[in-house]
Structure 1
Amino acid sequence: MMKKVYVLLFTLLPSLALVACNQSTSSKESPTIDDALKSFQKAGLEAENAKKMTKDDYGMAPMKAKEAKRFLIPSLGEDNGGRIFIFDDKKDLEQTKEFYDKLGKESAMLFSWTAATNNILIQVNGDLSEDKFNEYRKVLEDLK
């Protein structure tokens, strides 16, 4: 009987250790905001002068992101671009996305594009063409 217990322990423990190690490394490999911004640029998309967002940059939007940066898209004109957020909580991401989506429905002047993949949300000036925004969305979706 004891022999069976030892065999089980020596068989299961290494397997459990491998599973635990694999889980901890996968969370470290989650893409960062900087990974996304570099990927946009690598794809030939504008994402310039990224700066950490302040409370003033959030305006009326929920300030629930773990990290957020504002970036410029010079082809849209001076001081126009987008925001990129990373969240710990999916509900916070969904609430922030919903905030921007509702603004656009309430007023065409406030319309902006949004896309979310995993724990990253981008919000981009609505003056950007839908086709060009879809290029940003695709890069975000392909981010590993």
Structure 2
Amino acid sequence: MHAFNFIFMSHMHISDTWRSRWVESKHKSDYGKFVLSAGKFYGDAKKDKGLQTSQDAHFYALSSRFADFSNKDQPLVIQFTVKHEQSIDCGGGYIKLFPSDLKQEDMHGDSTYNIMFGDYLNNHFIDEHFKHFVLLDTQDDLTCFVSSRS
């Protein structure tokens, strides 16, 4: 067991004021639009709201800045939750962690990123900084991945 001096945690609670924190890219005019919704299935219509994609067969590009942190000599654990309410033939939900100089309104598929991971039809994790390509187990519905510099 390891003891860590620093834990960075950000629960990005989504509320009606989400547009003040999140920036939708304008790089392409045909990006899909996000809406605030609890979706089709929820426990509490108000508490379970989140950002939802509103159009089928579109790419989406949304970013939010967070405070600088360092995990030097410490493991880095990143997680997020996605609720897919329909069958997906191709695509998925994933996140990218970008360098701090990202031009958010011009973010696009070729923007430089440090880490990309998530639930994608091909179920993969890409770490551009460490140049790893990790295939994830596609047999379960819940996969946990931890990346470390060591």
Q: TM-score range by the shorter chain?
A: under 0.3
Q: How does the TM-score come out when normalised to structure 1?
A: 0.26
Q: Which has the higher helix share?
A: 1
Q: Which has the larger radius of gyration?
A: 1
